[in-house]
Amino acid sequence: MHISSFRLPKKHLEKIDYLVKAGLYKSRSEAVRDAVRRLIESKRFSLAPSLKAEPLSPDEVVRELRKIRGELWHKEKRHFRI
């Protein structure tokens, strides 16, 4: 595991401490890791292709964007009967 430093507003840190004291997490670190996991999971479907996949190369990104642009063009064409 890697160590990261970041800043949080005092009110967020106090809420994390409350969750730890309530026994929901063993430590601040565990609470933050869980929050990050949940954030990534909630955004996973809005990111292409997937966070589980290896990052795309620049050429693959261009191909994906062209594919999406083509799909949108065809949808617009059908919608407006162009």
pLDDT digits (tens, 9 = 90+) for 29-64: 999 999 999 888 887 666 655 555 677 788 888 888
Could you tell me the residue ranges of all domains in the chain?
Answer: 1-47, 53-82
Residue 82: the pLDDT is 58
The pLDDT value recorded for residue 41 is: 80
- pLDDT at position 75, please? 79
User: Residue 21 carries which side chain, given as an amino acid letter?
Assistant: K
Indicate the burial class of 20 (C-beta count within 10 angstroms; 0-12, 13-18, 19 or more). Answer: middle
Residue-level pLDDT at 11? 95
